[in-house]
């Protein structure tokens, strides 16, 4: 055991040394270009800030609580590198030939530059297949919390104008007429399925995923409704883009208890898949990627006194 511990200790020290070396090589590569404006714009200040913030707790734990110098050194190096990248991304070393600017002014410019994600995404989605279907998805997602912020509207308007599709306040408000929350979730999911049925290019689907996640952040307030439905939609889009991805599936099945319930189901779900197993008849309502979403669908039918269950199909390892 002592030999094993010694080996692990040696590997930890080597890991710290390698971390110092890789940090040096990374910074050395960019250091000579730190005053280049294009290089500064290519560095994400948000990523640098998140990296620093997420590493500080480790520095406190290893350095002040556990007195574990190796972990503290590695955390300190990561924070130091993050500060350097933050300064580079903020344009600290970029000279303004017209007039000198303070670090705060440069930092705000860098933040605004990163906030222009929609423009880049529009270029990536120029004249896409199924643009009309994508616009419906954007509108439904924006209204999933029963409100639309001016920034969300402007975000969608950017795409609508780029695609040459008429779009205004009246058209987006019509999307939410007579929609309960659960119905809005299902309508949005159906729109995503409808879009994927036209077999768009996988790269376009990946861009759409980025657009949807940027849309919910446009108003700086990600609601519970948006988070809930995005968990399902992101998994759908990921599964389409990467057929090899390992994803659990949650099937919602209804087992009618009498002929009246069978007649009701045939009315509610005329195209539903009917399966028989163990002598019983089951109505497969759908397959979902999120257990929470499947539970929502399950509760919807249980409220009609229908025996409904969720069956998980594990991903194939």
Provide the pLDDT for residue 110.
55
Q: Are residues 99 and 145 in the same domain?
A: no
Q: Are residues 64 and 167 in the same domain?
A: no
Q: Are residues 101 and 159 in the same domain?
A: no
Q: How confident is the model at residue 192 (pLDDT cuts 50, 70, 90)?
A: very high
Instruction: Tell me 100's DSSP state.
Output: -
Question: How many structural domains are present in the chain?
Answer: 3
Structural domain including 232 reads 117-241
Instruction: Tell me 64's DSSP state.
Output: I
Token pair of 114 as six digits: 């990163």
Token pair of 105 as six digits: 């002014």
For residue 254, list its beta bridge partners.
283, 308
The C-alpha atoms of residue 1 and residue 292 are separated, in whole angstroms, by: 45
CB 313 within 8 A of CB 249: yes
Q: Are residues 79 and 103 in the same domain?
A: yes
Q: Are residues 140 and 40 in the same domain?
A: no
Provide the pLDDT for residue 232.
92
Q: Are residues 206 and 254 in the same domain?
A: no
Cα separations in angstroms, 133 against 24, 107, 122, 160, 174? 48, 38, 15, 11, 15
HSE-CB at 154 with a 13 A cutoff on CA atoms is 10
Q: How confident is the model at residue 93 (pLDDT cuts 50, 70, 90)?
A: confident
What number of other Cβ atoms are within 10 A of residue 11's Cβ? Answer: 10
The C-alpha atoms of residue 293 and residue 240 are separated, in whole angstroms, by: 18
What does the pLDDT look like over 205-264, one tens digit per residue? 888 898 898 888 887 778 888 889 999 999 999 888 876 667 788 888 888 888 888 888
Please state the rounded mean pLDDT for residues 284-289: 86
Residues 290-293: contacts with CB under 8 Å, at least 24 apart:
290/231, 290/232, 290/235, 290/250, 291/248, 291/250, 292/228, 292/231, 292/232, 293/185, 293/189, 293/228, 293/229, 293/231, 293/232, 293/250
Q: How confident is the model at residue 276 (pLDDT cuts 50, 70, 90)?
A: low
Q: Are residues 263 and 291 in the same domain?
A: yes
- Domain end marker among 70, 94, 114: 114
- Percent of the chain surpassing pLDDT 90: 6
Q: Look at residue 148 and give its three-state secondary structure.
A: coil
| The pairing of beta strand 280-288 with beta strand 273-277 | antiparallel
The C-alpha atoms of residue 291 and residue 296 are separated, in whole angstroms, by: 9
Which of 185, 189, 187, 208 has its CA nearest to residue 128?
208
Provide the pLDDT for residue 72.
79
- Domain end marker among 93, 114, 135: 114
Q: Are residues 135 and 212 in the same domain?
A: yes
Mean pLDDT of the chain: 77
Which range has the top average pLDDT, 30-39, 61-70, 278-287, 299-308?
Answer: 299-308
Q: Are residues 103 and 125 in the same domain?
A: no
CB 216 within 8 A of CB 222: yes
Candidate from 13-17, 36-40, 255-259, 301-305 with smallest mean pLDDT: 36-40
Q: What is the CATH number of the domain that holds 300?
A: 3.30.70.1070
Q: Are residues 237 and 122 in the same domain?
A: yes
- Domain end marker among 207, 224, 241: 241
Q: Are residues 136 and 87 in the same domain?
A: no
What does the pLDDT look like over 141-168, one tens digit per residue? 988 887 788 888 888 888 888 777 888 7
Instruction: Please give the sequence-ordered ranges of beta strands (E in DSSP) within the chain, or none if there are none.
Output: 249-254, 273-277, 280-288, 308-313
Q: Is the pLDDT of residue 273 over 70?
A: no
Q: Are residues 231 and 129 in the same domain?
A: yes
Which run of H or of E encompasses 262? helix 259-268
CB 291 within 8 A of CB 250: yes
Instruction: Tell me 304's DSSP state.
Output: T
């Amino acid at each position: 055991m002592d030999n094993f511990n010694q080996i692990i200790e040696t590997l930890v020290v080597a890991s710290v040394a390698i971390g110092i070396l890789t940090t040096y090589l990374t910074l050395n590569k960019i250091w000579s270009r730190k005053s280049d404006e294009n290089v500064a714009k290519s560095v994400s200040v948000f990523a640098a800030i998140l990296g620093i913030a997420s590493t500080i707790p480790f520095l406190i734990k290893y350095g002040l609580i556990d007195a574990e110098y190796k972990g503290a050194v590695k955390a300190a190096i990561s924070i130091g590198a993050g500060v350097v990248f933050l300064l580079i991304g903020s344009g600290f070393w970029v000279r303004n030939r017209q007039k000198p600017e303070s670090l705060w002014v440069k930092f705000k410019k860098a933040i605004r530059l990163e906030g222009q994600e929609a423009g880049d995404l529009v270029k990536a989605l120029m004249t896409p297949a199924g643009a009309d279907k994508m616009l419906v998805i954007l509108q439904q997602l924006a209204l999933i919390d029963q409100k639309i912020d001016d920034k969300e509207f402007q975000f969608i308007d950017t795409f609508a104008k780029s695609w040459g599709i008429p779009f205004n306040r009246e058209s987006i408000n019509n999307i939410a007429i007579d929609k309960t929350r659960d119905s809005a979730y299902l309508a949005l999911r159906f729109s995503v399925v409808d879009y994927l049925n036209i077999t768009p290019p996988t790269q376009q689907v990946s861009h759409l995923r980025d657009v949807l996640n940027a849309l919910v952040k446009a108003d700086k307030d990600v609601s519970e409704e948006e988070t809930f439905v995005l968990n399902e939609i992101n998994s759908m889009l990921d599964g389409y883009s990467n057929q090899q991805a390992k994803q659990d599936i949650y099937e919602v099945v209804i087992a009618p208890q009498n002929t009246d319930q069978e007649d009701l189901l045939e009315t509610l779900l005329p195209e539903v898949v009917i399966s028989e197993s163990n002598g019983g008849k089951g109505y497969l309502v759908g397959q979902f990627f999120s257990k929470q979403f499947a539970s929502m669908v399950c509760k919807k039918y249980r409220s009609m006194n229908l025996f409904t269950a969720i069956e998980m199909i594990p991903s194939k390892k």
